[in-house]
Structure 1
Amino acid sequence: MISPRRNHKWDRFDVALLNAVQENNQFTAEQFAEKVGLSSSACQRRLKRLRAEGMITADVSLVSPRATGPRVTLIVLVSVEREQADLFDSFKKAMRNHPEVTQCYYVTGSADFILVVNVASMEEYGTFAERAFINDRNVRAFQSYACMQQVKFTTKTPIVWHEDDV
C-alpha cells in the first residue's frame, strides 16, 4: 500500500479523493464531495491539482471482456540472450508497440521480463510469439502460461491514510 508519507502535500482529503477517483472517475463533483466530506468546488480544485502534479496519470474506462468476445490471456516469461542496455531498450520498445501486450515488467529472477498478453485465440498468440520472440535474436527463451480463470483484477493502487501521517 502507498502511504501519504512519501508525499507530504497529501492530506486525508487527497487520499480519499484518490481512492474515490479510482473507484469511478465519472463521479460528479457532488458525488466526490459526498464521499470525501468537502465541497464540490474544493474537490474539483484538488482533483485538478492532483492531475497537474501527476498523481492521477490517466482517466480511463474499462471495457467489459464480454464486449470483445472470447479472449485468451497469457502470462509470458521472457529471458534475453545478452544483458546490454541497448538490447533491453530495444525489447522494451518492441513490447510497447505490440497491442497484444497489455502489461510488461522488467523483473529480477530467472526471467528478465514478464508480460501479460491478450489475444483472441491461441492461433493468434502463435503468430504474435513468432513475431515478438522467435524472430528476435536477443530472446533466448520464453515460457507461456495460459490463464484459465481470472481470480482477481484491479487497476486500483491501495492508498491508506493514517492520522499520524500529518
Structure 2
Amino acid sequence: MSDLPYRPCAGFMLVNQENHVFVGERIDKRAHGFWQMPQGGIDPGEQPRAAAIRELQEETGVGADLVEIIAGGDRTFKYDLPPELLGRIWKGKYRGQEQHWYLGRFTGSDADIDLNAHHEAEFQSFRWVNVHDLPKLIIPFKRAVYEELVAEFAPLI
C-alpha cells in the first residue's frame, strides 16, 4: 500500500445563504447511507480550482456563475483507503486521495441544483447541514479529512 501514490482530487464545500453546507447522499452501494460534499479526480493538466468547480457542476448542476469562492486550495488533505477497498476502486492504482478543497457561497436556489446534470449521477438526494455536523455523516475512512475541513473553513462561513 505504501508504494501506491495518492489520487489527485479536488472538492468543494458549498455554503448557502443560511450558512449550511451542501451534502449529497451517495448512490453507490458501498457507501449507501453516507453523505459527502462534491469531489472527484483532477484530470491531467487540470488545475485544482478548475477541477473543484467542474466536479461541483457535474455532481450538483451548480456552475461557477452561481458560486462566490471564499477560500481554499492552499494545502492538501489526504486519506488512505481501508484495506477492503484497496485494489478494488480506481483500478487499484491509488492508496487513497490527496485533495484540494475550496469553500464557496452558493448564490442560487435549490431549484438550481440538478443531481442528474452529469450522465452518471453521484448522489441520490441532497440536504443542507450545519458545518459541524459534517464529520458524523461521512463514511468513516474520510472522517478525519472532514474534521480538518470543518476546523479550517467553519470560521470563514
Q: Which has the larger radius of gyration?
A: 1
More strand by share: 2
The TM-score with structure 1 as length reference comes to 0.27
TM-score, normalised to structure 2's length?
A: 0.28
